[in-house]
Chain A
C-alpha cells in the first residue's frame, strides 16, 4: 500500500480509508514533503485537522505526482505548538504553513514571511501563533508590512476599496520612482468561514456554499465537491452526466477567458477587443444559462449527476449559438494579436521565470504561460476527460502576452471539445441517488478550473459525516506569482499584470 516516501497513494476521485493514511514521525514527514517538491512533484494541499479521538494536531499533506497520475497522502502529528518550518526548503508550502499557523496556532519556526493569511482568530481557543490575547478579533490588513527604506523610496498603498467594481484586497508597493521593488498582497477581507461551515455535513446548505466559494468558478468547485462525495459514497455516474459536467466546465472556461482577453485589451485602452469580448463573455454565459437556467452554472452540477439536460431538440440551437460566438471571438482575438501597439504592451511585461513558477507551485494558465505543462485534465483526468483528451496549451515567455495567448489557445480547444461532445452526446440517466458517505474515509479531488488546479479534500468521521473539508482554490497558489511578476516592473503596469492573472479574492479568503 505504501508508495513513495512512505505515503499512501490514491488517484483523483478515489477514496481511501483514513486509517490507511500513514502517520509519519515529523522529521520523516518533513523530509518526504521536501523531497517530493524537489523531485518535481507538487504539494496540492497541506492542512491541519483536530481529530477528537486523538491528541494533538494532525497535519495532512497531499502530494500530486503528475507523471504517474498519483496522489500521495501522508500525515504527521504535532503535539507541541511549534515545529521547524518546511518553507525554507520547500517554498511552495509557504502559504499553507501560514494558514496552518493561523487556524491551529502552531508556529512554523524559521518561516521567512510569517504573517496572518485571513486575519481570523485561531480555531483552537487559547492557542495563537502570534501570541495575541484570547478573544481579541484580529483586524484584517493590520500587520507588519515589508518596507524598503532609503532616499527616494516611496510606498503606495492600493485598496482594499478599489476604483472599479472588484473585490477587496490590499496591495502595498515599495517603489523607487516608477519602478516596483516589491509588492506585498494582503487579503482576507472576504473570509466567511466556508471550510468550517462544511464540517458536519453534507447538509442542505453544503452545495450552495460550494457554488459560491468563488462565484466565477461555480462549476469548477461544485465538480470538485461532487467528485469527492461521489468517491466517498461509491458508485458511478452515467456517461451523459459526465459529458454535461465537462461541457459546463469548458463553458465556464470560455466565458472567463473571453472576459479576460477583453479586460486585458481594456487595460491597455484597446477599444475594439475590449468592447467585443465584453459582449462575447455574455454570450458564453448565456449558453450556460441555456443549459441550466443560470449564467454561472448554479444548480447544474449535483452529487450523483447533473440537474439539467440538454435535450435532443435543443442541441442544434446550442451548437449554432456556440459557432456564432466562436466566430466573433476569433475576430476579436485576432485584432488583439495583429495590433502592434497591443503587442508592445503585452510582451516583456510582468515576466515570471519558469524557476519561480515551479518553486512557488503556480497552477493553471499562469503556470502554462511559463512553459510548465501542467493541466489536471491531462495529469489527473476525471469524468469525461478520462476518455477525451484536451491538448495542453502552453507558451514559454511567462509574460502578459503569454498568459493572454494561453487563454486564446484554450478558448479554441474548449470550443472544439464542446462541439465534438455535443455531436455524440451519450445516453443515460441524469442523476443517480447517492448512498451515505463511507465512515472514516478520505477522498481527494482535483479539477482543472479556468484558473487552474482546484483541490478539495474530504475526510469523514465515524458517522460518515464530513469531519474536515479542505478547499484549495488556484488563486491560493497564484497570488504569490503576481507579486513576483511585479518585481522590477513599472508600477503603471500593475493593473495589466493583475488582469493577466485575474485571481479570485473570495476563493482565497474562503
Chain B
C-alpha cells in the first residue's frame, strides 16, 4: 500500500509540477529586469491555450513530423518513472536503469531532430545539426558523473546511487561529487536550452538551437513539445538535486516538501544565471561542454586510486 501511495505521489509530482518550474524561472528573470512578469502559473495556461488550438501540418512532411512531439513526450514521461524523486526509489528501478534513462532521453532527442529534418526547412536542419552536435558532448559528461556515483555506491541502480549513502560519500569524496555536481548543472543548462547555451526567449531563428527545431509545430503538438521540455527540465533538476541533497533517509512527509522546495530553488538559480549572463558564442558552446566532461572525468580520477 505504501509503495502504491509513493508511486502515485511520484507520478503526480512528475506530471503536475514541471511547468511550475518554468513559471518560477520566468518570475525570477522578471524580478531581475525590474518587471512584474507573468504569473508563475502562466505556463499551465499557455499549455491549455495551445491544446485548444488547431494545428497546421505541412503537406511536405510525413508521419515522422507528427510522431516527433509524441515520442518526445512519451520518452521523457517514461524516463521520469526511473528517476528517484522525493523517496529512495523510483517506481521502476532495476540494475542498469541509468542506461535506459540516458537512452530514453536520447530516443526523444532523435525523434525531435528527425521530425525537424522532415520539414525540409533550412532553419530546422540547422537546429537539428546543432542539437545533435551538442548532445554528443553533453552525454559523456552525464555518463562520467554516473560512473563516479556507480563507483562510490558500488551499484548500477539509480535509487542506490542517489540514495542516502550519498551522505557519507559527500563526507569522504566531497571533491569528486562537487565536480560532478558542477558538470551536471552545465548538462542541465545545455539539455534544456537555457542561457548561456541557448536563449529560450529569442525570436531570432538563426541563433536558436532547440526552438528552431520545433518552429513548424503548432497547437496541441506544440503543447506536447513545451510540456515535454518542462518535464525534461524537471528530470535533470531532480538528478542534480538528488546529488546535492541525498533523500530517502528521513520520513516521507519531510522528504517530499524538501525535495519540491529544492526544485524551486534550482529554478531560481537557473533564473539568476539567465539574468546575469549573456549567451555564449555558438562556437564556444562545445568548449564549455568539453569542460563539463573534464570536470566529471576529474571527479572519477579523484576516486580511482
Contacts and interface: CB of A to CB of B under 8 A. Distances in A.
Interface in A254-305: 265, 267-272, 274-276, 279
Interface in B95-148: 122-123, 125-126, 129-130
Contacts of A388: none
A423 interface: no
Contact of A495 (B34, B35, B207, B277): B207
Nearest to B208: A492
A271 B206 contact: no
B282 interface: yes
Interface of A is mostly: helix
B34 A491 contact: no
B295 to A, nearest CB: 19
Given A341-B277, A342-B278, A345-B279, A269 B201 contact: yes
B282 A178 contact: yes
A490 B283 contact: yes
A155 B122 contact: yes
Nearest to A494: B206
B122 A275 contact: no
Interface stretch (A157-165, A211-219, A405-413): A157-165
B284 A344 contact: yes
B204 A495 contact: yes
B33 A344 contact: no
Interface string B26-43: 000100111100000000
Nearest to B279: A269
B207 A492 contact: yes
B196 A341 contact: yes
A269 B33 contact: no
A496 B206 CA distance: 10
A275 B33 contact: yes
Given A163-B205, A490-B281, A271 B122 contact: no
Interface in A150-172: 154-158, 163-164
Nearest to A179: B283
Given A154-B122, A341-B196, A271 B32 contact: yes
B206 A272 contact: no
A349 B125 CA distance: 24
Interface residues of B, number: 32
A58 interface: no
B195 interface: yes
Contact of B281 (A270, A345, A495): A345
B204 A269 contact: no
A157 B274 contact: no
A444 to B, nearest CB: 39
Contacts of B196: 269, 341
A490 B282 contact: yes
Range, interface on chain A: 20 to 34
A283 to B, nearest CB: 14
A339 interface: yes
A89 interface: no
A155 B120 CA distance: 12
Contacts of A356: none
A309 B279 CA distance: 45
Most buried by B among A157, A279, A341, A492: A492
A491 B206 contact: yes
Contacts of A265: 278
Interface string A96-135: 0000000000000000000000000000000000000000
Interface in B1-52: 29, 32-35
B274 A269 contact: yes
A495 B201 CA distance: 14
A345 B283 CA distance: 11
Contacts of B284: 344
A495 B208 CA distance: 11
Nearest to A343: B278
B24 to A, nearest CB: 16
A269 B195 contact: yes
B302 interface: no
Contacts of B32: 271-272, 275
B204 A163 contact: yes
A339 B277 CA distance: 8
Contacts of B199: 269
Contacts of B276: 271-272, 339
List the 8 closest pairs (A to B, CB-CB), nearest first. A275-B33, A269-B199, A270-B278, A495-B204, A268-B278, A341-B278, A163-B203, A492-B282
9 contacts: A154-B125, A178-B130, A271-B276, A275-B35, A276-B34, A341-B280, A491-B206, A492-B281, A492-B282
Given A272-B32, A491-B126, 9 more contacts: A155-B122, A163-B204, A178-B283, A268-B278, A270-B279, A275-B35, A345-B280, A345-B281, A490-B281
